[in-house]
Structure 1
C-alpha cells in the first residue's frame, strides 16, 4: 500500500563548529568495517573539517574527498523501523550540486556491510533510491557515502522518506507533541534548552507547546536568557510553578496538563539540564506516528563531558536482581569518535528495551489514559516502573537510534551514598513489589542486605541509615506515597545531616590533619577483589574487623586520605578513619568507624530484610492493588491541587 510521503529523518549537521560532535554526523576517517567474522578496510576517506558544514542541511567536499554518513545521527536505523513500524520500505532522497558519486550501503544485524547501489552525480542532481525493509528483522542500517569528482561536490539536502506501507496498514496520523520539562534551580540550563527548541525549524508544526514545570526557588522567568527563549517559542511556551515534588511530580504535572489541554497526541519528557538535538524530537514523534501500536519512544544519552561518548543506549531491568542494566548485547560509554557505526557490530543488532530514561522519553497520550501517570516516588525508578507498567499493558518501549540528548553521565556522581540513597532503596523495592515475577523478589532482598553491610563496612553510616528508613517505609505500605511526596526530601536531608560522613568540606584542611597509624602489612587500597571467593573472603574479614575496638588516635585524626576512585568497601573496611573525596572531586568527608553503631545497624538490617522476605507476598498484593489509584489522574490532581479541566460546553 502506498501512503502519503513523509520525511522520517532529515540529514543534519551541527553548525557550531564543535569537532567533538562532528563524528556523530559525518565520518571522515579511514576505518575497518568490523564483523563477527573478521574485518575489512573500507575505501579511504579523509578527516573532516567543520568548515565543510555549510549549514544545518548542507555539506561540501573538495576534489577527490569522500564522506560517509554511516553515523549515529545520519544513518537510518532500518531494523527498528522494520520491527516496530507500518512501513514496508523507505526512500533516500539526496540533492547535490557538482560532480561525484553517491553510494548507498546496508548492514546486517551482525554488522556485515554490503553496497546497495552506486549513482554518478553531475550538475544539480536530485537522486531517489528506493530501499526495502524486509531483510532487517534482527537489525541493520542504511546509509550513504559521497565522493567528490574533479571539482567540489556539495550535499544540498538529504532525507530519509517513507516508502510503501504494509498491506494491512492504515495511513499514519500526523501527530503532535507537548514537550514537558521539569526544572529545579537550573534556570540557565533550562532557558538554553528552551531557546534551542524554539529556534529549531524542524519542530514547527510538530510541537504544540513547551511546558516548563518550575519547582525551584530560582525561577526560570528571572533568568537573563528567558526573554530570548520566550521570544523564540512565542505562544508555544507556558511556565507553571509548583512546590518541589521531584521528577515524578514535575513530569506527572506535564502528563496531566497534556491530557487536560487535549491537543497533543504525545508528551515528550525532557530533563532541564540536557543539550538536545532537535531533529531527534521530530524523529521520535514521526516514529510514534508510524508505530504499529501505541509505543513509548525514548532517546539515547550522550555524555555532556565527552560529547562523542554514547553513555546509555538501551536499558532493561534484570528481573532476578531487579536492578538497572544495559539491554542485551549493548554497552555503556561507547566512544563513537574512536569506533564508529561501521566499526561497532553491536550497534547493528536491534536492541530491546524495558524502559527509557526520562532524560528524553515520548509517551503517547493513549498510553497515559490506559496505564496512568508517573508513580509518586519523587525521584529514581519512576521511569523504569512506568516502562514495566506499560509493557504489562501491552505497550512497547523503543529506544530509537538517531534521537538523543547530551546529559551529565551518572558515572561522574555517586548519588547512592548521598540523600538520594533513600529514594534509590525505597523506590527500587516499590517497583519490584509491583512488577517482579518472583514470589519473594528473586535475589533482590539478599542483595539489598549485602549493600547495607557494604555501606557499614565503608563507614557510610548516613547512607545505611537512609536505606534502613527507606525499607521501613516500604513495609508501611503504599498509602503514604502521595501524602509524603512534598515532605520526605526535607526529612531525609535532616536525618542525613546528623552523620559525620555526610558533612562535606570543600577544603580538606577543615578537618584534623592526617596522622597515619602503624603501617599495615598490606596496603588497604590494593584494589577491588576479583572473583566470588576473593570477594567473600574480603567481606568476611571486613565484617570481622568491625568487631574490633577502634583506636583512640583515629577518633581525633584521620588515618589517611582516600580518593573517591579507591573508596570502595574493600578499602575503607580496613581503616578506622579516613578523609574520603567525593566522586565529583569537589569536597571531602571524614569517615570514622563506630563499632557500636555497626553492630546495632547490622542487627536492624538483618531484621528488616527478614521482614521483607516474610511479608513480601502481602506487600506485593497491597502495592499492586493500590497502583491504579496511585498513578491515576484523580490522585495526582489532588496532590497537585489542580481543579478539573474546563472544556467549555463539551459533553
Structure 2
C-alpha cells in the first residue's frame, strides 16, 4: 500500500470550505490539538473541497495511477458515498455507496477500490459521510493505492528569505509536524539573504541554514540550488517563497506526482489570496503569448484560473479544464534535477520575471509545466503591492527576457516606453518614470552591467532612486521636462546599439546561468 495523499481537517474556521463541507449536525473544535469532526445522527461531512478532492482527470493524464481507495478513521455508524463530478451539466454520479457499523479510530475503514477513468470522462472524486448512529466522529483519511511507484523521489526544498523570520518559523513548523512527510526523503535549505536567522534553530539534519548576500529571489533560490546540487542526492527540487502560508499536504502530494509521473514534468502551485483565503488568484499564467506578432508588450501576464471562488463545486469542476500556461511562480514550483542539467540555473535578475524566464527555457526544450489543482499556497498577490522600485526590475527584466527569447524591436519598445512615460507624467508619477528610464538605460548597458554589479549595492541604489521626487501630487514642469529629455536622449542613443545589445543578452544568458558564474557572482569562491 502507498499513500497518495492525506485528507486533512482545516486549522481554522476561515479556511474550512477549502477542506470540508458539512451540515449543521457536524462540528469541529479548532482548539483541540487532536482535531476531529463530531457528528450527530444525520450529520454529513464531505471532502468535496479544493484541497481534499482527488482530481482524477489530472492524475490519469500525468501519472500511471489506475486505481485508488480511501482509508477513513471513523467512530460510530456511517453511510459512505463516493462521488465523481465533471465540468458541465448533469455532472454528478455515484461511484460507490456502503454502510459501516461500529467503526473505531484504531482501525481505518477501507472504501472499495475506485478504478480511475483514463479518458475525457475522468473528473473529480470525493467522499460524503453520513452519520447513522446517535453520535459519531471523523478524524482523518487517506487516499491510497496498491500500485508501485515509477521511481523514488528525494526532494530538495529551497526557501529564499529576506527578514521574514515569523513566516519562516511557521512554514518550517508546518513541514516538520506533518506525520506523512516523515516517511519521505527531503531536506529544507533556507537561504537567508537578510542574514538575520539564528543557526541555533537549525539543528535538524533535514534542515540547513544558508547565509547569503542579498542577491534577491533569483540569487537566493540559485544559492539553494547550488547547495542542494553539491550534495548530489536530490532527484527533484521545490522552490518556495518565504512570505507564504503553507498546507504541508501540498508537499506530500507533490512527492506522489513525481513518484508516479508518466514523464518528467514541472509542477506549478497555485496562488491563493492571503487576504481572501477562499480565492484562487492564479494557477500559472501565459506570458506575452502574442509577442511574435504584437511587438514589445512588457508585463503582459494572463493568469490562468484567475480570481476563482473555491467554495463551490462548479468552481472546483472548472479547474478540470486545463489551461495552457507558460510559467509557474517560484512561490511553489517544482522540477527535476534532469531539467536543471538541461537548462541550468536561473538568470541573475534579482527579483521579478526570473521565474518566467526560467520556465520559458523549460518550454523551449519541450518540457511540460502543469498547474495541478489542490497544490497551492497562500500569498499576497502582486497586485496588492505598490512599490516603485519594483518597476525597475519588472521593466528591465522584461527587456532582458524579450531579448533572450523573442525578437525585440527597437521602435516597438521605444513607442511603448514613450507612451507609458507620457501617461505617467500626466499623473505626476515622476518616480515611476525615473524607474522606467533607469531600467532602459541599464538594459542598454548589456550583460556586463549585471556581471560587474554587486547586487546588494545596486538594489540599495535603486531603492534610493525610486524615492527621488517628494511631491508627486502636484505638477512639476521642470521635473517632467528633465525626465522627458533624459528619456529621449537615451532612446536616441540606443538606436545604433539596439541589435548588438540584444544579441549580447542572448549570448550571455548561457554563461550567466552556469554554476561557475553563480559561484563567482555570489562570492562563493572567496
User: Scaled by the length of structure 2, what TM-score is found?
Assistant: 0.89
Flag the 1:431–1:48 CA change in 2: closer, same or farther, 3 A: farther
Summarize the Cα distance change of 1:80–1:56 in structure 2 as closer, same or farther, 3 Å threshold: farther
**In the aligned structure 1, how far is the partner of 2:30 from the partner of 2:165?**
34
Distance 1:52 1:185 in 2: 30
SS at match of 2:240: strand
Structure 1 residues 70-79 or 308-317, which shifts more?
308-317
Partner residue, 1:135? 119
Out of 584, 602, 625, the residue aligned to residue 484 of structure 2 is 602
Look up the match of 2:409: 440
Corresponding residue number in structure 1 for 2:438: 469
Equivalent of residue 148 in structure 1, options 114, 123, 131: 131
Matches within 5 A, 1:140-539: 140-162=123-145, 171-216=149-194, 219-221=196-198, 227=201, 230=202, 234-320=204-290, 321-328=297-304, 330-332=305-307, 334-336=308-310, 339-343=311-315, 345-415=317-387, 418-436=388-406, 438=407, 440=409, 446-484=415-453, 485-501=455-471
Return the offset for 1:609: 5.4
SS of residue matched to 1:319: coil
Paired with 1:163 and 1:617, the residues of 2 have a C-alpha distance of 58
For 1:12-23, list aligned pairs within 5 A. Answer: 12-14=8-10, 16=11, 18-23=12-17
Coordinate RMSD, CA, aligned: 2.8
Q: 1:118 aligns with which of 90, 93, 97?
A: 97
Q: How far is 1:615 from its partner?
A: 6.0
Offset, 1:634: 0.9
Contact 1:179-1:268 at 8 Å conserved across structures? yes
User: Residue 70 of structure 1 is aligned with which of 48, 51, 57?
Assistant: 48
SS at match of 1:387: helix
Q: Deviations over 1:452-499 (max 9, x none)?
A: 222211111111111101111112222222332333212212323332
Measured in 2, the distance between the counterparts of 1:24 and 1:453 equals 45
Q: Mark the CA change 1:56 to 1:615 in structure 2 (over 3 Å): closer, same or farther.
A: farther
The CA deviation string for residues 102-131 of structure 1, in whole angstroms up to 9 with x for no partner, is: 111112243732222222222234223323
Provide the secondary structure at the position in 1 that maps to 2:134: strand
3-state DSSP of counterpart to 2:78: strand
- In the other structure, the counterpart of 2:294 is none
Write out per-residue CA displacement over residues 345-393 of structure 1, whole angstroms, 9 at most, x where no aligned residue: 5223123321111111122111111111111010001111111111111
Deviations along 1:384-440, one digit per CA (max 9) or x if unpaired, are 11111111112221222222222223232223xx1111101101111122223x553
Structure 1 residue ranges without an equivalent (≥5):
29-44, 166-170, 502-589, 645-651
Residues 194 and 157 (structure 1 numbering): CA distance in 2 closer, same or farther, change over 3 Å?
Answer: closer
Deviation at 1:248, TM superposition (A): 0.6
Deviation at residue 446 of structure 1 after TM alignment: 4.1
With over 3 angstroms needed to count, the CA separation of the structure-2 counterparts of 1:496 and 1:126, relative to structure 1, is closer
Change (3 A) 1:400 1:464: same
Q: Deviations over 1:156-185 (max 9, x none)?
A: 5422224658xxxxx511212122111112
**CA-to-aligned-CA distance 1:254-281 (integer Å, 9 cap, x gap):** 1111110112212211111212111111
Shift in alpha-carbon separation, 1:109–1:631, aligned structure 2, 3 A: farther
Q: For 2:262 and 2:493, locate their aligned partners in 1 and report how far apart those are by CA, in whole Å.
A: 45
Q: Which SS does the other structure have where 2:389 is aligned?
A: coil
CA distance, structure 2, for counterparts of residue 609 and residue 104 of structure 1: 64
- The one of 606, 623, 629 aligned to 2:505: 623
Q: Deviations over 1:9-30 (max 9, x none)?
A: 111112x4x11011110012xx
Q: Distance in 2 between matches of 1:610 and 1:341?
A: 56
Deviation by residue 1:79-99 (Cα, 9 ceiling, x = unmatched): 221222233343334453422
Deviates more, 1:609-618 or 1:273-282: 609-618
CA deviation profile, 1:268-304 (whole Å, cap 9, x unmatched): 1111121211111111122122222222212222222
The structure having more radius of gyration, on CA atoms, is 1
Farther off after superposition, 140-149 or 306-315: 306-315
Distance 1:607 1:116, change over 3 A: farther
Asked if 2 retains the 8 angstrom alpha-carbon contact of 1:93 and 1:128, the reply is: no
Rounded Cα–Cα distance in structure 2 between residues aligned with 1:275 and 1:592: 40
Q: Which moved more, 1:464-473 or 1:607-616?
A: 607-616
- Equivalence for 1:575: none
| Matched positions, count | 513
Structure possessing the higher relative contact order (Cα contacts under 8 Å, 6 or more residues apart): 2
Q: Is the 8 A contact 2:298 2:395 kept in 1?
A: no
Mapped contact 1:52–1:61 kept (Cα < 8 A): no
| Displacement of 1:135 | 2.7
